Structures are given as C-alpha cells and as structure tokens.
Amino acid sequence: MKKTKVLFVSQEITPYLPETHLSKISRQLPQAIQENGCEIRTFMPRYGLINERRNQLHEVIRLSGMNLIIDDNDQPLIIKVASIQAARMQVYFIDNEEYFQRKQIVHDKGGEFFEDNDERMLFFCKGVIETVKKLGWSPDVIHCHGWMTALLPVLIKCNYKDDPLFADSKVVYSLYNDGFEESLNHRLPEKLIMDGIDPSNVELLKSANYLNLCKHAIHFSDGVILGEAEYNNQAVNFARKNKKPILDFTPSEEYPEAYSAFYDEVLLGEPVAELTES
C-alpha cells in the first residue's frame, strides 16, 4: 500500500518563530503524521526575523530562480530549507526580498497592518504550489494552517485543478484564533482575477476581512479542522451550512490517530460543492 502524501503549509512554525499554539501544532503535527506512516513536505514563509545562521537555512538552487507574477509584476522566488533533526523532517521556506525581508510578520513596528499582506499571502501560496511542482511531488492532502495560507484552496481548486500533480489533491483548512481587525487590500479580488480565477470565485473577498477570508478558504476546502479550543464561530457555522466535514479540536496526544482518520475521511469524500452563503 502506498503512503499517503501530506503537504503541510503554515504561516508559522516553531522553533523558527516564537511559540504560539499555531506554530507549535505546525511543528508537532507533521512529525506525528510522518511517524504514523505518511510521507510529508512542510512549508512556511521566510520572514526577515528568522535567523538563517542559527537555524541553518540554506538556499536550494535547483528550486529557486523562477519569477511569480503578482499584480502584473515579476517577483523572484527563492527557496530555502532547514532540518529539524529531532523530527527527521525538513522545512521549506518561501522567500522574496520585496515581501519577506522585513523584520516583522504582518504588522510594522508601529503596529500598522502591512498594505501588501494580500500580495505576500498570494506570493507565498503560489510559491508553495510552484515549488511542489518542481519537486514533482503529488500530495494526496494539502493541510493549510493560518490565514496566510487561505488562498491555497482556491488556487488548487481553480488554477491547478487540471494539473496532474494536484488533480486528485484534497485540501484541509485548520481554523485558529488568529484573526486580525484590519482588511486586506481592496484590490485582492482583482489580483486573483488577473491570475486567472473566475470573478464568481472571488465574490466573498470583495470585503477581504478575516471572516470572509476564512469563509473563502473553507468553501474551496474539502474538510475543516478546529485547530484551537477557541475559534471564530461564524466561520464554523459557515462550514456546517456548506456541509463540510469538520474535525473538532483534538488534544496533541491524539493528533496522529485523529488527523490521519480525518484525512482518510476527506480522501473518500465528495468534490467541493456549490457555495451556500450565510
């Protein structure tokens, strides 16, 4: 029997960023799933506050070098990698001087939300997909952690649906208590349309606040996991109204069995259905 291939994509992973519930689960879960017999790949952004020397990041020349078009501008994609020896796993980092060299994550020193967070998110999500394509690796499950990954579901289900590597991939989106009060750039739907996504598939993002971003990700996902004990109830209600399989919050000691069983459930499920608004 072939191993299930699980692609983990997270906005933060410890020890590369300070420990939060999200960064901790993004560190522990891939290891647990790998030890449970699956094949994994793990990705995160290479934020500028990550110390490359201390964490032994190095560029993967064979994967770097392509340009991604974001809002009609070419942006170079740099891929770096580091190993977590204790877990026997590698972490791939999506890097770009324009988007990820700054020393803050999503707010500047004064606490202001970065105006280009929408483009940073789009670059990260496209960068993950294009790197996986270069690896020639076909994931059975793509598990997204954190709102920075929220555009992956629509890209996989729309832009890459005919790509043999992703045609049968199922997308799982984990909800966390990681909301923000601001809205993303109002031109985000336009930028996605320029990327080839049909206007009807970006309606929810006309007001690109945190809740709508979650709803959009949920709609294009095949399953939803409550990754934290506290979460956005409106987002969960939206998932229920759209009849998405949902895995309730699970303690860390139950990760391998609970998550593996949920992946299997999603893999056997139906394709993404039509949108039911709430």
Does 65 score more than 70 pLDDT? yes
Residue of 227, 102, 135 lying closest to 173 (CA atoms): 227
Domain coordinates of the chain in residue numbers? 5-267
The confidence score (pLDDT) of residue 95 equals 98
Q: How confident is the model at residue 140 (pLDDT cuts 50, 70, 90)?
A: very high
Q: What is the pLDDT of residues 11-58, one digit of tens each?
A: 999 999 999 999 999 999 999 999 999 999 999 999 999 999 999 999
Q: Is the pLDDT of residue 231 over 90?
A: no
Check the CA dihedral 188-100-66-165 and report its sign: negative
Q: Is the peptide bond before 199 cis (omega within 30 degrees of 0)?
A: no
d(Cα 207, Cα 109) in Å, to the nearest integer?
Answer: 26
Predicted confidence at residue 270, as pLDDT, reads: 63
Section 267-271 average pLDDT: 77
Is this model's pTM higher than 0.85 or not?
yes
Average pLDDT over residues 218-231: 93
* Between 197 and 277, the higher pLDDT residue: 197
Cα-Cα-Cα-Cα dihedral sign, residues 260, 261, 262, 265: positive
Give residue 253's pLDDT.
85
Residue 262: what pLDDT? 96
Backbone angles phi, psi at 252, to 5 degrees: -60, -35
Q: Is the pLDDT of residue 278 over 70?
A: no
The predicted structure's pLDDT at residue 252: 82
* Helix (H/G/I), strand (E/B), else coil: 153: helix
Pairing outcome for strands 78-84 and 89-95:
antiparallel
If DSSP codes are grouped into helix, strand and coil, which group holds residue 88? Answer: coil
| Banded model confidence at residue 272, pLDDT cuts 50, 70, 90 | low
Residue 232: pLDDT band with limits 50, 70, 90? confident
Q: Strand order of the sheet with strand 5-10?
A: 58-59, 78-84, 89-95, 39-45, 5-10, 141-145, 170-175, 223-226, 246-247
pLDDT cut 70: percent of the chain above it: 96
Which of 174, 90, 163 shows the shortest CA–CA distance to 126?
Answer: 163
Q: Tens digit of pLDDT for each residue in 153-183?
A: 999 999 999 999 999 999 999 999 999 999 9
| Helix extents (H) in 197-232 | 210-219
Helix (H, G, I), strand (E, B) or coil at 7: strand
Q: What is the pLDDT of residue 240?
A: 95
Question: What is the average pLDDT value for the chain, to the nearest integer?
Answer: 93
Quickly state the pLDDT bin for 229 (edges 50, 70, 90): confident
Q: Which fold has domain 5-267?
A: Rossmann fold (3.40.50)
167 three-class SS: coil
